[in-house]
A and B are shown apart, each in its own frame.
Chain A
Amino acid sequence: MYRYDEFDERFVRERVAQFRGQVERRLDGSLTEDEFKPLRLKNGLYLQLHAYMLRIAVPYGTLNSRQLRQLAHIAETYDKGYGHFTTRQNLQFNWPKLKDVPDILDLLADVEMHCIQTSGNCIRNVTSDQFAGVARDEVEDPRPTAELLRQWSSLHPEFVWLPRKFKIAVTGAEHDRAAIKVHDIGLKLKTDDTGEVGYEVIVGGGLGRTPMIGKVIREFLPKDELLAYLEAVMRVYNSEGRRDNKYKARVKILVHETGEDEFRARVEEEYSKLDGPTINAPEEEVERIAAYFASPAYETLPEVSEALDDARARDGALDRFVEQNGFTHKQPGYIALTIALKEIGAVPGDMSADQMRAFADIAERYSFDEFRVTHSQNLVLPHVKKDDVPAVFAALKAVGLASANAGLITDIIACPGLDYCALATAKSIPIAQDIAKTFADEARQKAIGPLPIKISGCINACGHHHVGAIGILGLEKGGRENYQITVGGDASEHAALGERLGPGIDAEDVPAAIEAIVATYLGEKRGEETFIETVRRTGPEPFKAGFTAFIEARAAASEAAE
């Protein structure tokens, strides 16, 4: 893991003091509310429906046990005893008091954490693949790039007053787990014909009310040219992005309205005027950062663990957990484990302070003191010895963290929705809970297979419903909450936006509608096809037909009841 040097340390400490001063200047009237608002947002502080919300950056989703224990301490001291992991690999506290925020920031700085640019019209927390450094299909570990970008984007003098927020994701693997095609900038590490490492640069993807798949604007950018090239992209966006309408201000709209080719030409023209060597990171600095992400001191082990195999043969629950939540590790004898923060009936992404402490102990003892946050609101223990898995499973089970449903129909992403959010038009957490209860049976979940459901409580799409294999969008219609359902969304290298199945439905009908969609899938499925593979082959038509039949049956049933 990256560790702060004296410069990083001072930077974060000074930023805390700077924010403390900004709060004071708001209170003494030097800053108006309109002026203070972007300053607090750039430090992760939102005003929500009931209270302030503080969003803490978890750069590229990597944390250690000391940091998680500190988060547990903050949760108990300043919040209601829990935290909430988000779809941007961050952590939110939903109930802090404004006067406590500078103190919380100090506690975060004590463990090399901050809230810098977790909101506001600036470059946000950089996200990455939760299996970085673990996956076998990796060209290069994306975390050093993500850390370089964290530093480069922090308080960037030119790019902190952008037209709108700006999100960057990096992946180093063939299979895209970082959703780079639906980010403002997506970077994919790759090699060219000569074996040189560089990036594919994708610009203009995004979700929200106008979802778009990003465009490749550079097939191959040599690795050492990254910062200068991004400066060119950002300068074109900062100069030309729309500022007349906040709903048309993201770079995806600029790329769309300018045209992909013209946008590319403008970036390349700007890039040609830059003096790259004066902007790019020195090679020594790139190497310095990369050294922090060297593999931990693995033991030399056989690929197969007899201890684990024996335990799995004896314990069906352990077997299901490993099968569902295990991820193949590049190092023989090791495995990565997904910890689904998705106990049936729980709030997706929530973690209590007790769970945090217990999990910190597990990560420290069994995973080289490191864990990851995923954009599916789950956690990952990246480096577990297979021999240790039975002990890890037992420890997780003791604190309610051993749900064997990673990637299944009950592993649902949901935004905070009307329970917390000032923008929401509908609830999303209770919808997730109802669906999870409907499909609680483990054997049934397994028969259905991988099926990511994503729920947003308004068109801003924080629950990423556009890229859910099943997407659910909650709206308000005639004073009632109304849910639109899509299928076929995909955030991976096959990125696609879901298609609507028909008219919106009431909240209480959502679980049955999902049952109808699942029935269509199981009827259409060929061989070992997953849900998304079936939709990709058949298109949405059979699902629309099944959904229409469901709506008609519902209407007939409710008429009969009257």
Chain B
Amino acid sequence: MTLITEQGAIEDRFFRADTIEAALSANGPVLVPLALAADFVEAKPGTEFGVSVPGSTPIDEVAPHLGRASLISVEFPAFSDGRGLSLAKKILRQGFSGTLRASGPLIADQFLDAIGCGFTEVELPETMANRQPFQQWMAAKETMTDHYQSGYGPGPSILQKRLAARKGA
């Protein structure tokens, strides 16, 4: 797996555990599936952890963990499945301030969409990262300077910039 942020490729601090045994025996931060999150917190309170959730998950099922988890990893089953983008908006609306990861076979052309919806990093399977190395992601991020939609990042929208320019004039 390759992890890409707006600054470039980084190391993954989290150990991905698919069973509660694996999660409990790990040292350092652990990324657990949603179904194991409550058990993990009870067994190892105070340990840094992340929760992995499919993009189709209702926000009500994610919300109980947002106060304690430092990472939420939203799983994209396919690059063309945009549900995770809406889930990201709902997670951030709950006040989540940790790391928001998009995980799955995304393409570099979606980096701006992911950033716009508040994702801070993208986790790619190696096959994808081999075809589209992080340099392509860095380049894709620069293709569009602006966006029209207020409430989406990064920075102010075109509508807000126009308003600021008019007030400054």
- Using CB atoms and an 8 Å cutoff, list the residues of chain A in contact with chain B: 5, 7-8, 10-11, 14-15, 17-18, 21-22, 25, 29-32, 35, 38-39, 121, 151-152, 154-162, 227, 231, 235, 238-239, 243, 273, 275, 278-282, 284-285, 288
Contacts and interface: CB of A to CB of B under 8 A. Distances in A.
B48 interface: no
A262 B144 CA distance: 38
Query: 9 nearest interchain CB pairs?
Result: A157-B116, A161-B82, A18-B143, A7-B158, A157-B113, A151-B148, A279-B151, A238-B86, A239-B86
A281 B86 contact: no
A8 B112 CA distance: 18
A273 B107 CA distance: 31
14 contacts: A11-B148, A15-B144, A25-B136, A30-B136, A35-B107, A39-B109, A152-B148, A154-B148, A155-B147, A158-B82, A161-B113, A273-B93, A278-B150, A285-B159
B152 A158 contact: yes
B158 A151 contact: yes
B12 interface: no
A7 B161 contact: yes
B163 interface: yes
A10 B146 contact: yes
B168 to A, nearest CB: 13
B117 interface: yes
A159 to B, nearest CB: 7
Interface residues of B, number: 43
A158 B80 contact: no
Contacts of A11: 144-146, 148, 158
Contacts of B2: none
B44 interface: no
A21 B148 CA distance: 22
B39 interface: no
B126 interface: no
Interface in B79-99: 79-83, 85-87, 89-90, 93
A25 B143 CA distance: 14
Given A15-B144, A288-B162, 18 more contacts: A11-B144, A14-B143, A18-B143, A31-B132, A121-B80, A151-B159, A156-B148, A157-B117, A157-B149, A157-B152, A158-B152, A160-B113, A238-B82, A275-B151, A278-B150, A285-B162, A285-B163, A288-B166
Given A284-B163, A288-B162, A161 B143 contact: no
Contacts of A32: 131
B80 A161 contact: yes
Contact of A243 (B81, B87, B162): B81
Interface in B21-46: none
Contacts of A121: 80
Nearest to A163: B82
Contacts of B160: 282
B87 to A, nearest CB: 7
A498 B145 CA distance: 47
B152 to A, nearest CB: 5
Contacts of A158: 82, 85-86, 89, 113, 116-117, 149, 152
B158 A35 contact: no
A319 to B, nearest CB: 48
A21 B143 contact: yes
B144 A279 contact: no
Contacts of A238: 82-83, 85-86
B15 to A, nearest CB: 30
A508 to B, nearest CB: 43
A5 B158 CA distance: 11
B156 to A, nearest CB: 11
B79 to A, nearest CB: 7
A155 B82 contact: no
A157 B147 contact: yes
A14 B159 contact: no
A30 B132 contact: yes
A260 to B, nearest CB: 21
Nearest to B87: A239
A276 to B, nearest CB: 10
Interface in B17-74: 56
Contacts of A162: 82
B31 to A, nearest CB: 23
A14 B89 contact: no
A155 B144 contact: yes
Nearest to B152: A157
A17 B81 CA distance: 25
B128 to A, nearest CB: 9
A529 B152 CA distance: 53
A224 to B, nearest CB: 13
A235 B91 CA distance: 13
Contacts of B150: 227, 278-281
A7 B146 contact: yes
A423 to B, nearest CB: 19
Contacts of A235: 86, 89-90
A285 B164 CA distance: 11
A229 to B, nearest CB: 13
Nearest to B79: A35
A211 to B, nearest CB: 26
A43 to B, nearest CB: 11
Contacts of A14: 143-145
Nearest to A121: B80
Contacts of B131: 29-32
A243 B81 CA distance: 8
A282 B87 CA distance: 26
Given A17-B143, A158-B85, A285-B159, A38 B80 contact: yes
Contacts of A31: 107, 109, 131-132
B97 to A, nearest CB: 17
B43 to A, nearest CB: 32
Contacts of B146: 7, 10-11
With most chain B CB atoms within 10 A of its CB, the pick from A14, A21, A152, A161 is A161
